Structure 1
């Protein structure tokens, strides 16, 4: 969901707050072609607040 945000400051700040030293975060982003195949009329690069 992060790739749909205009401002990443708050979500990334929260991730930093909850992760303990030595923890790891694994983030997965869908490839744009999958999105386009599923939602043909949608704008992949549109953002939301």
Structure 2
């Protein structure tokens, strides 16, 4: 039973990531990454 829950959870994560990749354009993805990196550098 627990294995099925883990499997479904991983399947959800993979599907969400695929949908996100399809919705976002490559330039938008890099912009988000750079903003996250800037925020991380400022916080540290």
**What TM-score bracket applies, with the shorter chain setting the length?**
0.3 to 0.5
Higher relative contact order (CA 8 A, sep 6+): 1
Q: Which has the higher helix share?
A: 2
TM-score, scaled relative to structure 2: 0.38
Asked which structure has the greater CA Rg, the reply is 2
TM-score (norm 1): 0.35
